[in-house]
Structure 1
């Protein structure tokens, strides 16, 4: 493995945002993004461009998941959407899982809200195909 590949393997991360519920009882949907740029959104699967990867790298570098709570809000009243976020980030050899309900995101720290906002922005994106691996 080259030094560049070693660095990529060491810094590899994955994010998965899942949501379900609401008034009509929506089946679970998810958005998954990896450090490699591979991503899956409800409408497509493909790759983020270099700018998209860099944006997530920057958000994750600033994130402090060790300070996040496992749950933000516990009241599923009134057909609220439920959300979960899974983060695997080798920099601290831990995996993080947290949950919340729609409307509870105001109690989240700003680094987490920014990450969730970036993930949800991908939700309606048509991702381009990933480049062929040589």
Structure 2
């Protein structure tokens, strides 16, 4: 083989090899997809300050604990609706108990209980309703 054929064959081999690599995000020069002429970035990782995730506001609910329609599920019936209780002290959160709970609603959380707005309990205390 002459030099130009060898160079052409080498170019084809490099292209075929690059096509078999998984796609990568473009680097700082705009190269992507395993192109041999793209060198990995040697830039240091970003030192930009990270912002902590915002904390959810604490919600306080008062109501009566009820058994859910699914086994093992407890729901708090309140004047603001029904809340699926996630976590909390099982000696306090039991069927029929009148309680006050603190925590945060988790409306997007998937559960198997299929009722009430999910509510992650951070504190719970028994508090019987007062009669007036």
TM over 0.5: no
* TM-score for the superposition, normalised by structure 2: 0.18
- For CA contacts below 8 A with separation 6 or more, give which structure has more relative contact order: 1
User: Which structure shows the higher helix fraction?
Assistant: 1
User: Which structure shows the higher strand fraction?
Assistant: 1
Structure number with bigger Rg: 2
